[in-house]
Amino acid sequence: MAQKPDVAIVTGGSRGIGAATSLLLAKADYLVVVNYVSNAAAAKAVVSQIEQAGGKAVAIKGDVASEKDIVALFKAADQFGQLKVLVNNAGVIDMKARIDEMSAGRLARMFAINITGSFLCAREAVKRMSTRHGGTGGAIVNLSSAAATLGSPGMFVDYAASKGAIDVFTLGLAREVASEGIRVNAVRPGIIDTDIHASVGEPDRVAQMRGQLPMQREGTSLEVAEAIIWLASDKASYVTGTCLGVSGGRSI
Ligand code: NAP
């Protein structure tokens, strides 16, 4: 019987950084579970691209703000093989706002997706990867943001704070499971050219920011994906608990 492939789950794998990461993980021979929440066509396009290149992938819908969806996502992934990589990529930003304009609903949504979603996905991954639970180890890569080091005043301190939580989570979880075969790291992208900036309410934000960036340009999803792939790979076998800046010098 053919051996089952190693599995990688990328939350929010349908667009932007998650899509670029899915493509690279497939090239590295993982069967990639491309999670998405609403854009089925984009997820399907990523899966097709992977299959055309000779790789294996499957698109699975699920909202990381829902514990039920997360449990179902990981259960569905189990049938394909052993989970070895989780990329906690799904994340949202919101309209530019000051604290005195932020509703409790906005904060609840932001923290449910960006923080609790990452925690619950990591919980499911640890249950499968940890030697404590009979697993063979693995790697978790979380998506933080340069915002966690800048605070984003007058823009979205809620988003920045959610990513600050991811930084601390990365450090704590890394130490918690270091002796169980699991490495946990994060990347902190700077300004990357993806759809996410449209939700801030400033469609030309990337173009506006360009001149203020040390390299005078935004980054690409592929540039972030390359860092994620390295952290997930055995080449980073002694790296855990770290947050790697991928911001062209904008922040650490
Ligand atoms: P993006 O282009 O807006 O794509 C977001 C992805 O997340 C999509 O695949 C989307 O699925 C999915 N998603 C959104 N909400 C979800 C939910 N509740 N459950 C499951 N999936 C969900 O975003 P991006 O710019 O690539 O950002 C990816 C990550 O990098 C985020 O965590 C973001 O905070 C972080 N980041 C981005 C930048 C940047 O400049 N782009 C900078 C720093 C950090 P659908 O396609 O179904 O909508």
Give the model's pLDDT for residue 1: 65
Q: Which atom of ligand 1 is nearest to the CA of 93?
A: 34
Side chain identity, residue 167: D
Cα(37)–Cα(209) distance, integer angstroms: 29
pLDDT at 203: 79
Q: Give the C-alpha distances (Å, rounded to integers) separating 46 from 19, 40, 42, 50, 64.
A: 6, 10, 6, 6, 19
Task: Report the nearest-CA residue for atom 11 of ligand 1.
Answer: 36
**Centroid of ligand 1 to alpha carbon of 58 (angstroms):** 18
Residue 11 in contact with residue 58, Cβ under 8 Å? no
Is the CB of residue 143 less than 8 Å from the CB of residue 117?
no
Q: How far is the CA of 46 from the centre of ligand 1 (A)?
A: 15
Q: What is the pTM assigned to this prediction?
A: 0.98
Contact between residue 126 and residue 70 where contact means Cβ atoms under 8 Å apart: no
- The H-or-E segment that residue 189 falls in is strand 182-189
Predicted pLDDT at 26: 99
Active site residues: 159
Q: What is the CA radius of gyration of the chain?
A: 17
CB atoms inside a 10 Å sphere around CB 95: 13
192 lines ligand 1 (CB under 6 A): yes
Segment holding 9, helix H or strand E: strand 6-10
* Long-range CB contacts for residues 231-237, cutoff 8 Å, separation at least 24: 231/139, 231/141, 231/183, 231/185, 231/187, 232/8, 232/25, 232/85, 232/87, 232/139, 232/141, 233/28, 233/139, 236/139, 236/183, 236/185, 237/183
Secondary structure (3-state) at 219: strand
| Mean pLDDT per 10-residue segment, the chain (252 residues) | 91 98 98 98 98 98 98 98 99 97 98 99 99 98 98 98 99 98 98 94 90 97 99 98 98 89
Ligand 1 centroid–CA 72 distance in Å is 20
Atom of ligand 1 nearest to the CA of 146: 43
Q: Which fold has domain 6-246?
A: Rossmann fold (3.40.50)
